[in-house]
Amino acid sequence: MIRFIALISFITLFAADARAQGNVPLVADLSNHLVAITTGFSGTDVLLFGATDGPGDIAVVVRGPSEAEVIRRKGRQGPIWLNAEEVAFRDVPSYYRVASSRPLAEFAPQNLLSRYQIGVENVRMNTVADAGLEPEEVADFRKAFVRLKTESNLYDQGLGAINFMSNRLFRTDLHFPSNVPTGTYLVEVYLFRDGDVTSAEIVPLNISQIGASADIFDFAHNFAPLYGIVSILLAATAGWVASVVFRRT
């Protein structure tokens, strides 16, 4: 019900804005610009909705905060397996998801998909150092990185559906799993016509921890040594209490 009201409100505002400013090719917004992660957070969906000034295709890209990632490959040395080679990727999205009105290949040329980094295979992943590896080996590390992110539900190689209503109004649900990283996300909305991007919108989304979990997170990062000591003391105390209880029973 809340999403429906938000969608109707947006349509009304869009119509008024279009009358005031003339023809607007594309506008888009989110039902919620803040996702609050609390202790019981188990994932959530955010509604993306928008309107165009006529027929066209929509592609949506959701990018999480950039981060550095190190991917390691184990190698056997004697009877044991050890980390042998590694590749460090820098400025890669911590979260990445794509949705479109049709399969991308049906309306978007590859050069534009590469330029705007639409599709997991088009995300730029710059390496810090490749340890003398061949390009083919670096490509294998990239595939491993994408596979690990996909298995963690942080990368979506499939395409979510964007539903059109009357060829002008569109909507889609953006899913964020329970392990979604915190930070500022960018929701990029592209309008394609005749194999070109005719308009684009970028909508920010903030995902942050609140409440007790946020306090514990900040304490652990700002006072790491003290957090470690407190954790050890709590674990030792819990073990001592358990031993006393079971000894009495």
Are 201 and 228 contained in the same domain? no
Query: What's the pLDDT band for 73 if we cut at 50, 70, 90?
Result: confident
**pLDDT of 58 strictly over 90:** yes
Residue 179 and residue 76 share a domain:
yes
Closest of 125, 118, 173 to residue 148, by C-alpha: 125
- Calculate ∠ Cα 142-35-27, nearest 5°: 85
pLDDT score recorded for residue 135: 80
Structural domains in the chain (count): 2
- Domain with 127 in it: what CATH number? 2.60.40.1930
Same domain for 203 and 241, yes or no, is: no
Range(s) of the domain holding residue 232: 211-249
The count of other CB atoms within 10 Å of the CB of residue 101 is 21
Give the integer Cα–Cα distance in Å for 36 and 208.
Answer: 5
Task: Clarify whether residues 155 and 176 are in a common domain.
Answer: yes
Express each pLDDT in 161-175 by its tens digit.
899 887 789 999 999
- pLDDT at 115 (0 to 100): 95
Angle, CA 138 vertex, CA 134 and CA 140 arms, to 5°: 115
**Nearest residue to 190 (alpha-carbon basis) of 85, 61, 96:** 61
Q: Note whether 92 and 11 are same-domain residues.
A: yes
**Higher local confidence (pLDDT), 237 or 213:** 237
Residues 193 and 223 in one domain: no
Pairing of strands 160-161, 96-100: parallel
Which band of pLDDT confidence, cut at 50, 70 and 90, is reported for residue 66? very high
pLDDT > 50? residue 19: no
> Do 123 and 104 share a structural domain?
yes
pLDDT score at 168 = 85
Lowest model confidence (mean pLDDT) among 82-86, 89-93, 211-215: 211-215
pLDDT for res 85: 75
Output the six-digit token pair for 171.
């909507």
Residues 203 and 218 in one domain: no
Residues 181 and 215 in one domain: no
247 has pLDDT over 70: no
114 with 222, same domain?
no
Pair of tokens at residue 221: 């990062």
Cα separation of 129 and 126, whole Å? 9
